[in-house]
A and B are shown apart, each in its own frame.
Chain A
Amino acid sequence: MAKKVAFLQGNEAAAQGALYAGCKFFAGYPITPSTEVAEVMSAELPKIGGKFIQMEDEIGAMAAILGASLTGTKVLTSTSGPGLSLKQELIGYGCIAEIPCVIFNVMRGGPSTGMPTGPSQSDVMCAKWGTHGDHPAICLVPASVQETYEEMVRAFNLAEKYRTPVMVMPDEIVAHMRERIVFPEQGELEVINRTAPTVPPEQYKPYDTSFGDVPPLAAYGSGYKYHVTGLNKMQDGFPTTKAEIVQAEEERQIRKVEANKADIMKWEEYLVDDAEIVVVAYGSTSRSARFAVNEARKNGVKAGLFRLQTFWPFPEERLLELSKKVKAFITPEMNLGMCHGVVKGCIEGNAPVLGIFRVDGEPINPGQIVDKMKEVK
């Protein structure tokens, strides 16, 4: 049978991807340019016995998905920069209490309410450092409608597998752009479900590390009772200030992601093997970069594209390796140098990093990247 195709917007594909992954609960507060996700979820969830709630505000939406997740449900919220700021306190709560959830954030101009309808890529640092304290961060940055769908499925998988909040962050262009999408059939993409406890309720501890760095999570309402708090906690979930426990638990939470980077990180290398200039880009900007790389190659310039599909964790080791053989990196992005700084931080000064930064609500066009390549000596 021919596969189902459609001409969809990035936001619509994100919602469809969430449904494929088994999302049954959405809470959100509508905000441009991510509102279409809420629209689709509000139409689709009731049909499959799910729940959609339009909350009173952004942090309320974050609270609602954390609570719903603890009942064993796959949960989603969607927002944009100003909303992401408002959610931060409870994103930290989700990290320390280790509650799986997916936060879909469409990047628009900022700070504050900024430019609601303009594209941006200026939330990528907020994905890691927005909430205070040391905590794991996973942030996926899709570049097409098809990839938005597929990465949403993967985001749910990572959230469930590592018991942590996961962010998916397209820029406004990817979120509002429409392209043809081929829907995967049931079973075609991997769908990972949460590990439930195997011990009886009276023996259950929500942070029992004897099962590894990711303890099984019991569903509220299934007979298991446990304590959830934003305070540093012991294995049974109750607060502690015992130094050795707090240190070990903090390190374990970071380790869940750091020790599994190979499973989480994704990037694409396009014509990088012999490249002297490597453009490091993500989201819609990576599409300009691919266009620019193709143009440059036509003129004999050895250019390549390193396309980030995950922004966090960041592929530091691979970029360090490449930095030993390239003449320069170029980092085009719709912010004032966020990826630029991270690249510089991981390549130990081995190569210059030339930035192209735009925050005027206009995309970085291929011509700008081609021009920047000419500055490489």
Chain B
Amino acid sequence: MSGRYEIRFSGAGGQGLILAGVIMAEAASIFDGKQAVQSQSYGPEARGGASKSEVIVSDGPIDYPKATVVDALLALTQEACDKYSHDLKEGGVLLIDSDLVKRQPAGNFKVVSFPIINTAKNEVGREIVANIVALGAMVALTGVVSKESAEKAVLSRVPEAFLELNKKAFNMGYEKAMAAKK
């Protein structure tokens, strides 16, 4: 399975995790010249319920589009963390929202935790960009796409009126994760 890097964004429906996955994959596939596949799994609810978005990045063609052994997992809710952490690999990256995920899964993971949603709400200014804060953090922690490509991908996906807000969110997440990693 070498050459495959598997990332899972999870949380509740409505938190924008599918979009975060799409942007990560787009950064890899369109801006970084790698191969990427993004897929998703969600319940019938428009909001709420556990939701996940998976991104596979590789230098070569990607056959199986879903995760096999997860290299990096984001969990924005306790439910998602409980439900989607079973196949996180030994030594894998686990990014959690420190306000919302109190019980960590057992295992030897590189756990990074900071108040992601609170950062979006109070430091960036809008809770709605929590997914972009989380994306910035995942880019920092995984290193699977370049920061420049990820930022370009973010900006190509958001409406013009919100460019600055999203740029701020992305960079805030990136820096917080870099600091937390140390």
Q: Name A's B-contacting residues (CB within 8 A).
A: 5-7, 32, 116-117, 173, 176-180, 284, 287-288, 290-291, 294, 363, 365-367
Contacts and interface: CB of A to CB of B under 8 A. Distances in A.
B68 interface: yes
Nearest to B45: A117
Interface string B25-47: 11001100001111111111000
Taking residues whose C-beta sits less than 8 angstroms from the other chain, chain B's interface range is: 20 to 34
Contacts of B25: 7, 178
B64 A287 contact: yes
Contacts, number: 57
B37 A178 contact: yes
A366 B64 contact: yes
Given A7-B22, A178-B22, 5 more contacts: A178-B39, A180-B29, A180-B35, A180-B36, A291-B63
A173 B43 contact: no
B26 A7 contact: yes
A367 B30 CA distance: 30
Nearest to B29: A180
Interface of B: 22, 25-26, 29-30, 35-44, 63-66, 68
Contact of A288 (B26, B29, B38, B64): B64
Contacts of B35: 180
Nearest to B67: A365
Contacts of A294: 63
Given A177-B37, A178-B25, A179-B37, A365 B66 contact: yes
A330 to B, nearest CB: 16
Main secondary structure of the interface of A (DSSP, over half): mixed
Of B37, B39, B68, chain A has the most CB atoms within 10 Å of the CB of B39
B63 A177 contact: no
28 contacts: A5-B30, A7-B22, A7-B25, A7-B30, A116-B44, A117-B42, A117-B44, A173-B65, A173-B66, A176-B39, A177-B39, A177-B65, A178-B22, A178-B37, A178-B38, A179-B36, A179-B38, A180-B30, A180-B36, A287-B63, A287-B64, A288-B64, A290-B63, A290-B64, A294-B63, A363-B66, A366-B63, A366-B68
A177 B44 contact: no
Contacts of A5: 30
Of A117, A284, A363, chain B has the most CB atoms within 10 Å of the CB of A117
A324 B126 CA distance: 65
Nearest to B23: A7
Nearest first, the 5 A-B pairs at minimum CB distance are: A291-B63, A291-B64, A178-B38, A290-B63, A7-B26
A288 B39 contact: no
A179 B29 contact: yes
Contacts of B44: 32, 116-117
A95 to B, nearest CB: 33
